[in-house]
C-alpha cells in the first residue's frame, strides 16, 4: 500500500497540508515517500484554491533523514541517475511553504525543512546533519543552507561533530521563525499559512521569489531583480483593488490576478 506514505489535508481555507506518514521509521525519506510528497505539493502549487502550503511530519519526527536502509544498497551512479536525488523539487514551488517541525529533523529532513520558506517548530524539535556518522555528508543543501542560516562556526559544529540544535537554539540562531508548545505548533503553522494564503497571490509569489534570490545574487543584482518584480505587481488586478480599497477605507477583495 504505497499511497499511505503521505497524508494530504486542507486544514484551513487556502491552505494545503502534506504530512509525511511513515511513523514506524521516524518518517525516513525513501524515494517513494519523496515522490508522493513532491507530487502532492506540486498539485497544491498548481491549483488556484491554495495560497500557502504546509509540510509536516509527526509529533515525534518531521523526518529522521533519508532512508539509510535504501541508501545502503546504492552506488554513486545509481544515486546520480535516479530521481531520489531530485530533492530540489521542493525549493522550486512558487507558493510560500511552511515547514511545521516537531521531533527529529535530521539529515535530509533538516534539509527539506530548510528548503521551505518559513519554519514553525514545536519545543521538542531537534535539528541536525548527522550524515558524517554514516560515512557520507549532507547532499541536499545542508552545507549551504545551514551555513547561510546560522553562520560558519555553528554549521561546522553541527556537521562535523553532530551537534543537534534544540528548537530554542534554532530560533536563537535564525533557523526557525517561531517555537510553540507541542500541542499547538501545528495549529499555529496552519494559522500562519492561512494568513499568508489570504494575501494577494501574485504579490506573495513574487515576494517569496525575490527574498530567496537574496541568498543567491549580489546586492546590486538582487535590487534590480526586486525592482522588476515590483513593477510587475503594478500590472495586477490586485494592485488596483488593494490601492482602491485603501483609499475607500474598506477591506480588499483579492482576485489572485
Ligand atoms: N533511515 C532508515 N530508518 C530509520 C532512519 C533513517 N534515517 N531513522 C530512523 N529509522 C528507523 C530505525 O531503523 C528504527 O527502525 P526499527 O524499529 O525497524 O529498528 C525506527 O526508525 C526507530 O528508530 P530508533 O529505534 O533508532 O529510534 P531512537 O529514538 O532510538 O533514535 C534517532 C532516533 C536518533 C533519530 C535515530 O533513529 C537515528 O539516529 N536515525 C538516523 C539519523 C540519521 O543519520 N539521519 C541522516 C540520514 S542520511 C541523510 O539524510 C542524507 C540525505 C541525503 C540527501 C541528498 C540526496 C541527493
Query: Which pLDDT score, from 0 to 100, does residue 160 have?
Result: 98
Q: What separation in Å is there between the alpha carbon of 152 and the centre of ligand 1?
A: 26
Enumerate long-range contacts of 7-11, CB under 8 Å, 24 or more apart.
Answer: 8/40, 10/49, 10/50, 11/54, 11/190
Average pLDDT, the chain: 96
| Residue 131 is a catalytic residue | yes
More confident residue, 83 or 157: 157
pLDDT category at 202 given cuts 50, 70, 90 is very high
- Cβ 69 under 6 angstroms from ligand 1: yes
User: What DSSP letter does each residue of 2-18 carry, written as one string?
Assistant: GGGSEEEEEEETTEEEE
What average pLDDT score do residues 240-255 get? 98
Share of the chain above pLDDT 70, in %: 98
Ligand 1 nearest-atom number relative to CA 133: 44
Q: Decide: 130 in ligand 1 pocket, CB within 6 A.
A: yes
Atom of ligand 1 nearest to the CA of 140: 55
Q: Is the CB of 62 under 6 A from ligand 1?
A: no
16 is catalytic: no
Q: Which residue from 119, 105, 140 is spatially nearest to 193, judged by alpha carbons?
A: 119
pLDDT of residue 80: 85
Q: Give the pLDDT mean for 2-28.
A: 94
pTM score of the predicted model: 0.97
**108 carries an active-site annotation:** yes
DSSP 181: -
Establish whether residue 51 lines the binding site of ligand 1, counting it when its CB lies within 6 angstroms of any ligand atom: no
Three-state helix/strand/coil letters over 57-120: CCCCEEECCECHHHHHCCCHHHHHHCHHHCHHHHHHCCCCEEEEECEEEECHHHHHHHHCCEEE
The set of cell numbers assigned to 208 is: 517569496
Provide CB contacts within 8 A for 199, sequence distance 6+: 51, 254
Q: What angle do CA 86, 89, 90 make, to 5 degrees?
A: 125
Amino acid at each position: 500500500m504505497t499511497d499511505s506514505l503521505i497524508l494530504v489535508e486542507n486544514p484551513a481555507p487556502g491552505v494545503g497540508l502534506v504530512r509525511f506518514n511513515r511513523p514506524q521509521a521516524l518518517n525516513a525519506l525513501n524515494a517513494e515517500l519523496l515522490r508522493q510528497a513532491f507530487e502532492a505539493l506540486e498539485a497544491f502549487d498548481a491549483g488556484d484554491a491554495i495560497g500557502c502550503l504546509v509540510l509536516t511530519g509527526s509529533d515525534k519526527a518531521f523526518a529522521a533523514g533519508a532512508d539509510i536502509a535504501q541508501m545502503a544498497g546504492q552506488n554513486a551512479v545509481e544515486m546520480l541517475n535516479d530521481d531520489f536525488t531530485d530533492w530540489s523539487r521542493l525549493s522550486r514551488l512558487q507558493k510560500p511553504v511552511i515547514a511545521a517541525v516537531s521531533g527529529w529533523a535530521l539529515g535530509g529532513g533538516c534539509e527539506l525543512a530548510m528548503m521551505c520558506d518559513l519554519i514553525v517548530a514545536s519545543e521538542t524539535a531537534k535539528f541536525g546533519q548527522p550524515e558524517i556518522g554514516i560515512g557520507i555528508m549532507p547532499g541536499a543543501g545542508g552545507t549551504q543552507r545551514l551555513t547561510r542560516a546560522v553562520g560558519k562556526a555553528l554549521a561546522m559544529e553541527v556537521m562535523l561533530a553532530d551537534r543537534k540544535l534544540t528548537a530554542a537554539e534554532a530560533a536563537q540562531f535564525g533557523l526557525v521563525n517561531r517555537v510553540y508548545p507541542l500541542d499547538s505548533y501545528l495549529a499555529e503553522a496552519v494559522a500562519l499559512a492561512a494568513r499568508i494564503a489570504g494575501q494577494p497571490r501574485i504579490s506573495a509569489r513574487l515576494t517569496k521569489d525575490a527574498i530567496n534570490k537574496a541568498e543567491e545574487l549580489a546586492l546590486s543584482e538582487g535590487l534590480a531583480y526586486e525592482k522588476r518584480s515590483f513593477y510587475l505587481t503594478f500590472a495586477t488586478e490586485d494592485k488596483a483593488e488593494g490601492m482602491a480599497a485603501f483609499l475607500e477605507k474598506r477591506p480588499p477583495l483579492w482576485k489572485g490576478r
